[in-house]
């Protein structure tokens, strides 16, 4: 098999596409490392992945994660302001593990097994 050297721009584009597709997972991973409020999540996502999230995209996703029990939020005083701070729940941690296991299994499947599903 030929060794292919992927350039940095291609890799960054691939990373952004992946993050956009699995945004819920990346938000959960972010708040798993530390509880955060919405604006901080926006800024962290932008800094890490060069993706600009709009409030209109982020907050419905945060509300859905909370409604499904993957996060919990509460009002806290942060930097002199009342903010809605999101924390991951055990169910959210389990969702991350499920995603990781699924992706690992998919990437480890032999080519012959993957071809068989396309028939």
Burial of residue 71 (number of CB atoms within 10 Å: 0-12, 13-18, 19+): buried
* Spatial separation of the C-alpha atoms in residues 119 and 109, rounded to whole Å: 16
Rounded CA separation 16/23 (Å): 10
Q: What is the pLDDT of residue 1?
A: 46
Q: DSSP secondary-structure letter at 57? A: H
* pLDDT score for 116: 55
Of 73, 80, 18, 95, whose CA–CA distance to 49 is shortest?
18
* Structural domain 9-109, CATH architecture: Orthogonal Bundle (1.10)
Q: What is the Cα–Cα distance from 62 to 70, expressed in whole angstroms?
A: 9
Domain range summary for the chain, segments of one domain joined by +: 9-109
Q: Provide the whole-model pTM.
A: 0.77
Closest of 88, 100, 90, 89 to residue 30, by C-alpha: 88
Which tokens belong to 79?
Answer: 């930097």
90: closest CA among 48, 42, 32, 15? 32
Q: What pLDDT was estimated at residue 119?
A: 47
d(CA 47, CA 77): 24
Which pLDDT does position 16 carry in this prediction?
82
What b-and-e string marks burial along 37-49, b requiring 16 or more CB atoms within 10 Å of the CB?
bbebbbebbeeeb
Compute mean pLDDT per 10 residues along the chain, 119 residues long, and list them.
Answer: 68 82 90 94 89 89 97 93 96 95 87 58
Confidence at residue 73, expressed as pLDDT on a 0 to 100 scale: 97
């Amino acid at each position: 098999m030929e060794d292919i050297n992927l350039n940095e721009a291609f890799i960054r584009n691939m990373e952004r596409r992946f993050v956009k597709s699995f945004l819920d997972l990346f938000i959960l991973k972010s708040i798993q490392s530390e509880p955060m409020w919405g604006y901080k999540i926006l800024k962290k996502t932008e800094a890490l992945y060069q993706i600009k999230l709009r409030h209109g995209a982020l907050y419905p996703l945060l509300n859905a994660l909370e409604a499904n029990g993957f996060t919990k939020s509460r009002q806290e005083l942060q930097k002199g302001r009342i903010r809605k701070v999101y924390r991951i729940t055990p169910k959210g941690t389990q969702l991350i593990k499920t995603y990781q296991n699924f992706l690992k299994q998919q990437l480890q499947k032999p080519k012959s097994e993957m071809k068989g599903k396309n028939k």
